[in-house]
Every structure is written in structure tokens, then in C-alpha cells.
Amino acid sequence: MESEAQVIDKRVPSADEAISDIFDGATLAVGGFGLCGIPEHLIAALVKKGVKALTCYSNNAGVDDFGLGLLLKNRQIKKMVSSYVGENAEFERQYLHGELELEFAPQGTLAERMRAGGAGIPAFYTPTAAGTVVAEGKETKIFNGRECVLEEGIVADFSLVKAWKADRMGNLIYRKTARNFNPMAATCGKICIAEVEEIVEVGDLDPDHIHTPGVYVHRLVLGTRYEKRIEKVVTRDS
């Protein structure tokens, strides 16, 4: 009899198939930090599919012609929940013209909201943003003399993440900056779809190096030809 590890295989043949059931109005937790560690192929598949009225939880909104910026350009996103949007002129234009809903979340708060949702924690208190416009309309309490804001955990319909390596059971390893938001995003989606640069056999990954256990991951896509664009090139005179 084959062991469970021998029969579990979460690989799907294409990004198009992996996102085929993402529907109009879905909520998406999208990994990545700037343009680092973003699920390029899954985003491209969503553009191709043309799904509309999406709500995206993501640290940022890409740039005008890459990352989530492609979905914004195609008017496929209804609402963004982000901590930084400064690199996307189309985002700014849509927001200022009332075409896009925006909810700002401090960077650490957004990461913790994803982690909390994935851990089954419905809400938590944080002193971050107390007394600012971010806290307007939210419940507050005093803990140890500090005002704290109640923030809800995020549970999305789908998580879209990018990893460096995986085995076919869905255990994921991220690389460097890509580890900033992808692990939290992966856990908070009801269905987690991961694209990876390399898929290895079960047992080839050191268990101590795995960042997202396969129990959280439902589908794997092997990506190729990653652009890995630099968000902002900065040089100095010699």
C-alpha cells in the first residue's frame, strides 16, 4: 500500500487551471513585497481570465505595468487593502476619481491580520494607528495605559503566493525578501495557490527550512521565465 506521502500531489499543469475557479467578487490575499516575491504567473492568468470586482489584500499594488498594477489597469480590482501604494499612478488616478475603494492598513498590522486569520483568531488589539484616521470607526481599549485599536483577522477566498522551492505535497520555502508577506498570506486563504521556481521530491527539503507547511497549500504551479523586475533602480555617481 502506498503511503500518504507517495499519493499526495498538489501540482497542476498551468496557472490558468490553478486560478480557474476564482470568481467575480472574490477576495484575494496576495503575497509579495514591492515587486519581490509576487505571483507573476498567477496574476497574469487572472488578467487573461478577466475576472472582475476583486478585493485584494496586499502590501502594495505593484506598479503601473507589472504585478497587481496589471489588474488595476484592466479595471479588475474593486478594492485594495494595502499599506503602501506610492509606486502606481493608475492606482492614484482611480482612487482620486472614486473608481477604486481603498483601506489603508499599517504594514505590520496588515501582516498580523493575515497571520491572525490563518490562525483562526478573529481579531486582536494593537496600539499601531491609535488616534489616527486608520482607527476611525474602530473599537478601542486601553491596555497598560496605551490606547489600542481592534483589528479584524483576514480570511480571503483565495491566497496567491510565490515561493522559491516546494515539494509536491505543498511544503514551501521562500527566499530572502519574498518571505516578508507570502507566509502570512498563504495561511489566510480558504484555498491557497502557490507558484514556485522549483518542485522537488518529498523528503528533499530539510524540514527545519520549510516556511509554509503543505497543509496550508492546495495547488502548486511550476513557474518559468520569471522577470523579477527591480521596482526602483537607485544608483550613485562613482
Q: What residue type is assigned to position 19 of the chain?
A: I
- For the domain 24-222, what is the CATH code? 3.40.1080.10
State the pTM of this model.
Answer: 0.92
Neighbours of 57 (CB within 10 A): 27
pLDDT at position 1, please?
Answer: 46
Closest CA to 161 of 227, 225, 219, 231: 219
Residue for grid cell 502570512: 184
> What SS3 state is found at 10?
coil
What's the rounded Cα separation, in Å, for the pair 224 and 3? Answer: 30
pLDDT at position 237, please?
Answer: 78
Summarize pLDDT for 83-125 with one digit per residue, the tens. Answer: 988 778 898 899 999 999 999 999 999 999 999 999 999 999 9
Rg (C-alpha) for the chain, rounded Å, is 18
What's the rounded Cα separation, in Å, for the pair 174 and 161? Answer: 10
Domain ranges of the chain: 24-222
Summarize pLDDT for 183-200 with one digit per residue, the tens. Answer: 999 999 999 999 999 999
Displacement of CA 165 from its chain's centroid (Å): 17
